[in-house]
Amino acid sequence: MFGWLKKNRKINTFNEEFVKNPHRDNWYQANSYYPLPFALVTTVDENGKTNIGPHSFTMPYGVISDYSLVLITRHNSNTAINLTRTKKCALHFIEYDKKHLKTVVGLGYPGQTTEEKMAHQDFTFIDSPTEGRASGDGIHPPLIKEAIQVYECTLDESVNFHYNEASSTRHFIIKLENILLKESWHKNINNDNPMMPNLPISYGFRDGKDFWFTQHGKPFSIPTPTDRGPKSAAVIYTANRMDDDVKFTDEACEKLTGVPRVFLKTALNGIIKKAKQEGVTLVDEAFVDRINSERNKK
């Protein structure tokens, strides 16, 4: 059925008609194409053993200040049972490696106990560098050394996200407590390096027998349009991602629309430095006016 995937990366369907496909359970993989990333979720069972569960249904939920993710899993999965008990989990992202992907498929086989499925895995466990999250306490899971990125999370029990209590799935909101990156990728993302990790993509379980994966080609960038929308929008976006402690009002950003793009970050860094010196956490229009006035006097 999928032989064409190996031979033809592109099928020209421009002049073809759309044809309705009937609904089936697990529609995203049974009768459609829905490429997904996945995370290896570690939790601790009632015997203190670490469980790894591969999960594709994880995605950002709270992205501004209240950082969290959605995690959807079978109601009787080891991940669901352990997370309900300990309230702790860690989501791991590995780079493309066929050997590891074979292990991932084995870890996703339903109906096995933690002991049964972990007997066939070859990942390496290490302690978290986060204070208070060392493994061995029966609550906090270790980290997978082969991962390049980890999200350390805690179950948010204040949110009732079970929209269908009779469902065979569980829907969790998990608070994002820590983002951990291997050193090279930490330097990469914090120095505006355009290099991206080769994270595998899953096409799910198909033909009743196989899990399908792929790797992407070299990532590329497309510049955002500079002639659309208010000019302040681009400044607002950049300014409020420069520093965790100092933010900018919309009016302050409007004052900076005349700064050439190539010099914008330099100007913002100068304002942020001045704000921190004065204990200012919200840069407003008056603050920018004062800095400009002081600069003009020099």
Boundary-marking domain end, from 214, 242, 262 = 214
How far, in Å, are 112, 178, 227 from residue 123 at the CA level?
Answer: 18, 21, 49
Task: Give long-range contacts, CB 8 A cutoff, 24+ apart: 252-256.
Answer: 252/283, 252/284, 252/285, 252/287, 252/288, 254/285, 255/285, 255/288, 255/289, 255/292, 256/288
CATH number at residue 249: 1.10.8
Q: CA 10 to CA 137: how far, in whole Å?
A: 51
Is the domain of 49 the same as that of 197?
A: yes
The per-residue pLDDT string of the chain (298 residues; one tens digit each, 9 = 90 and over) reads: 445 455 456 889 999 999 999 999 889 999 999 999 999 999 999 999 999 999 999 999 999 878 999 999 999 999 999 999 999 999 999 999 999 999 999 998 888 999 999 998 999 999 999 999 988 899 999 999 999 999 999 999 887 776 556 678 889 999 999 999 999 999 999 887 889 999 999 999 988 889 999 999 899 988 877 666 567 888 998 999 999 899 999 999 999 998 888 889 999 999 999 999 999 999 999 999 999 888 877 6
Is residue 219, in this structure, part of any structural domain at all? no
Q: Report pTM.
A: 0.80
Q: Examine the fold and report which residue of 214, 244, 264 is the final residue of a domain before the chain moves on.
A: 214
Q: Which domain holds residue 81?
A: 28-214
